[in-house]
């Protein structure tokens, strides 16, 4: 098992790492899917607990708790939307200056693990975005998900008509070496009570 850890923050309550693209957050099915961020963190810091996940193809900030009380506090912060997340994405085309995507999402069961927009049965899902730069062919965006659905950012940008560069699942006809989606910033209430802001430089 490869054991590299890109630590961003470490204290007695939590661990934050910079997860590389291509690494699972938690173990998958089968012996070839056991190397993951959780396994690497737990090898270095026994007892570390999963708080949230990133898609395998997404890079960036990933949190782990160092004890049950911290896990409960962090999980509660995510549930209460007290965690502010900012992602960087590069998308095809130019969607404009800014906007709010408000489209409900549902698992596309016949085509798992894909998700889809479903106006009748989907779960409420919102993403704010604003453009950082564009050359007309591609645009760099900041994305702030207000909800935390599976594949939310990828499906929302696809529905907007501007899929994320390198999205092999939702835009397979335009391959790239990696998905251009990175969890750049996290702002949250630390389990000890004070605010904590974390940042990871975008690698693309």
Cβ contacts of 10 within 8 Å, gap of 6 or more: 16
Q: Which residue of the set 11, 35, 55, 94 is catalytic?
A: 55
Identify whether 55 is a catalytic site residue.
yes
**Helix, strand, coil tally for the chain in percent (to 5):** 15, 35, 45
* In the chain, beta strands by DSSP E: 7-10, 14-19, 49-50, 59-65, 84-92, 98-102, 105-107, 115-117, 126-134, 138-145, 181-189, 195-199
Say whether the peptide bond before residue 95 is cis (omega within 30 degrees of 0): no
Mind telling me the catalytic residues?
A: 55
């Amino acid at each position: 098992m490869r054991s590299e850890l890109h630590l961003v923050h470490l204290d007695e309550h939590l661990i934050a790492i910079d997860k590389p693209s291509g690494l699972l957050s938690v173990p998958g099915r089968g012996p070839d899917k056991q190397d993951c961020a959780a396994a690497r963190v737990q090898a270095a810091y026994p007892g570390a607990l999963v708080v949230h996940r990133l898609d395998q193809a997404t890079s960036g900030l990933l949190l782990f708790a160092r004890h049950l009380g911290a896990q409960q506090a962090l999980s509660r912060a995510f549930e209460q939307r007290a965690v502010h997340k900012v992602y960087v994405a590069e998308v095809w085309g130019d969607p404009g200056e800014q906007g709010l995507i408000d489209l409900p999402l549902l698992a596309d069961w016949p085509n798992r693990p894909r998700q889809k927009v479903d106006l009748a049965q989907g779960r409420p899902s919102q993403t704010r975005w604003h453009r950082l730069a564009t050359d007309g062919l591609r645009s760099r965006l900041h994305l702030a998900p207000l909800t935390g659905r599976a594949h939310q950012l990828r499906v929302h940008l696809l529905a907007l008509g501007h899929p994320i560069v390198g999205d092999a699942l939702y835009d397979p006809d335009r391959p790239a070496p990696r998905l251009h989606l990175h969890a750049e910033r996290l702002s949250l209430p630390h389990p000890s009570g004070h605010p904590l802001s974390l940042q990871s430089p975008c690698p693309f």
